[in-house]
Chain A
Amino acid sequence: MDPDLVLVLRRATVAYDRDPVVEGVDGEVAAGQSVALIGPNGAGKSTLIRAVLGLVPLTGGTIQALGRSPQAARRQVAYVPQADILDAEFPVSALQVVLMGRYPRVGWVRRPGAADRQVAARALAEVGLAERASARFGTLSGGQRQRVLLARAIAQEPRLLLLDEPFNGVDALSQDLLLAALARLRAGGAAVVMATHDLGLAHLACDEVCLLNRHQIGFGPIGTTLTPELLRATYGGQALQLRGDGVIVARP
């Protein structure tokens, strides 16, 4: 397999009780590239992400991450969930959350060392939260928490990064900082896959797009794939509006 390819999906299908949740996903992501998973609610974006993480088994097709099965590749794959599902009252600081990203490298029993703390501090700085390192996670705003979770993923030093709706409910400043951090990760050779509703941000952050509505409708460069026709097919004909500069806004 081409060593430059971080993620390869070949007709990947996930079914639950014989009901396919998402099927026929086919595409490749190279190092430094970024793919947006776009589709309405229930399209299978989260399921696909879980399949790439090896958390749900495939019922058809294959997924190869870094030339290995998803389970084998986990050490090099990082996941950024939505921040609002976490307990806001949990007694941890922002830095402690970022440090959690180092646990797989630290291993069992041992505690994170000084080197780990440095990596964590740097990751936090990358998302612009260095001065909030000792604030309790729950005291940060939604956008800040999302940035902390990205910092945690950065601290894992991954080669593939998976994000689930990273811009949901996030303030403009945090959005910019997230985009900048993602760009730096890509410059460093990591590949990024993000599920998102926001087509405008998809244009800003990604060069490829995968359109999903329980099955794959398109997978390719964003310029040629994010077209009105394919979007209509993806969103099942829901109302779409065309803006002058070609950015299409859809109601998910």
Chain B
Amino acid sequence: MSLLEAFGEGFTRRALLEAVMVGGLCGVVGVHVLLRRLPFFTMALGHATFPGVVLAGLLGMSLFAGAAVFGAVVVLVVALLGARDRVDDTSAVGVTLSGAFALGVLLLSAQAGFSRDLTAYLVGSIVTVQPGDLVTTAVVGLAVLATLAALHKELVLGAFDRGGLAALGYPVLVLDVVLLLVIEATVVTSIPAVGTILAVALIVAPAATARLWTERLRATMALAAALGATSGVVGLTISFQWRLAAGATIVLVAAVLFAVSLVVAPRHGLLARRLAHVGPGSAPTSSRA
């Protein structure tokens, strides 16, 4: 059954609306994630808030509350661990991610209906989105966008030159935390659509794609939002047509857009760069130690 045919159904319209809102929101937030090089952290956040979401679900609490609390705990743990000698940031994130995720699995496994719920949390279940979820998404989305708009210049400066921001008298740490909370809120909002594992894709891919086409920041955000929403709609359509998991299909569409752009984008695309330089490639700098 195609999307058009199913359009008459309530769940279809809701899924579509959710896909557009979540896609757009993730696109904008994704630009900040890339600016501060936080994709791994975002992925870890997705994995690590999983137990919070499970716990909230089990206790009948708001998913947001559960995720928010757990997210804050995770951020704290990663920061504390990473500050110790001999624990580098990457390992700190790796340990926290694994531990939190396993905790979530344990909590769920102790309940019945294990598999079904787990899957919904992990890879989304957009077709079961309820009107209440839509309202939540809209409210959170607006709050996030308003925050980002209000703090735009500070966040951008902070991403480029943390020292400079501090020197100007801004509370750098507070701004960092605000951004992390924004990312956290976005991840949680994406769960019904694409689940915790895939949320990072919808946040990172449209933004990465947009960056290949434009250098101006606001244009990047607008483009990223558009690409995110488009991935949502196209992905949903394809998933209806061929009866595939919706969240995963959305992510695949976003990834394809990225891959295509990687090759054809003027100036930053692979083709463009191949045509531009005639000499040898760059000196191989020592890759990550």
Contacts and interface: CB of A to CB of B under 8 A. Distances in A.
**Quick check: do A and B touch in the complex, using CB within 8 A?**
yes
Contacts of B59: none
Interface in B228-276: 276
Given A87-B289, A89-B86, A59 B279 contact: yes
* Residue in B85, B277, B280 with the greatest tally of chain A CB atoms within 10 Å: B280
B43 to A, nearest CB: 25
B282 interface: yes
B278 interface: yes
B279 A16 contact: yes
Interface string B50-89: 0000000000000000000000000000000000011000
B282 A55 contact: no
Interface string A36-62: 000000000001001000011101000
Contacts of B174: none
B284 interface: yes
Nearest to B286: A85
A16 B85 contact: no
Contacts of A55: 283-284
How many A residues are at the interface, by size bracket? 10 to 19
B284 A56 contact: yes
Contacts of B279: 15-18, 59
B278 A50 contact: no
A236 B224 CA distance: 46
A56 B281 CA distance: 9
A55 B85 CA distance: 33
Given A18-B277, A89-B85, A89-B86, A47 B283 contact: yes
B277 A57 contact: no
User: By DSSP majority rule, is chain A's interface helix, strand, loop, or mixed?
Assistant: loop
Interface residues of B, number: 11
A38 to B, nearest CB: 21
A18 B282 contact: no
B154 to A, nearest CB: 32
A147 B284 CA distance: 26
A15 B281 CA distance: 9
Interface string A1-30: 000000000000011111000000000000
Contact of A57 (B86, B278, B280): B280
Nearest to A55: B284
A4 B284 CA distance: 31
B86 A17 contact: no
Nearest to A58: B280
Nearest to B277: A17
Given A47-B283, A50-B283, A55-B283, A18 B278 contact: yes
A14 B279 CA distance: 10
Given A17-B277, A18-B277, A18-B278, A56 B283 contact: yes
A55 B278 CA distance: 19
Interface in B142-197: none
A71 to B, nearest CB: 13
A17 B283 contact: no
Contacts of A56: 280, 283-284
Interface in A156-204: none
A17 B274 CA distance: 11
A56 B282 CA distance: 8
B86 A16 contact: no
Contacts of B276: 17
Contacts of B284: 55-56
A16 B289 contact: no
Contacts of A17: 276-277, 279, 282
Interface string A50-89: 1000011101000000000000000000000000000101
Contacts of A18: 277-279
A56 B283 CA distance: 5
B247 to A, nearest CB: 39
Interface string A122-155: 0000000000000000000000000000000000
A16 B284 CA distance: 11
B130 to A, nearest CB: 51
B178 to A, nearest CB: 32
B119 to A, nearest CB: 41
B278 A16 contact: no
Nearest to A18: B279
A237 B277 CA distance: 33
A137 to B, nearest CB: 14
Contacts of B280: 15-16, 56-57, 59
Contacts of A16: 279-280, 282-283
Nearest to B276: A17
Contacts of A59: 279-280
Return the 4 tightest CB-CB contacts between A and B, nearest first. A56-B283, A57-B280, A17-B277, A15-B279
12 contacts: A15-B280, A16-B279, A16-B280, A17-B279, A17-B282, A18-B277, A18-B278, A50-B283, A55-B284, A56-B280, A59-B279, A59-B280
Interface of A: 14-18, 47, 50, 55-57, 59, 87, 89
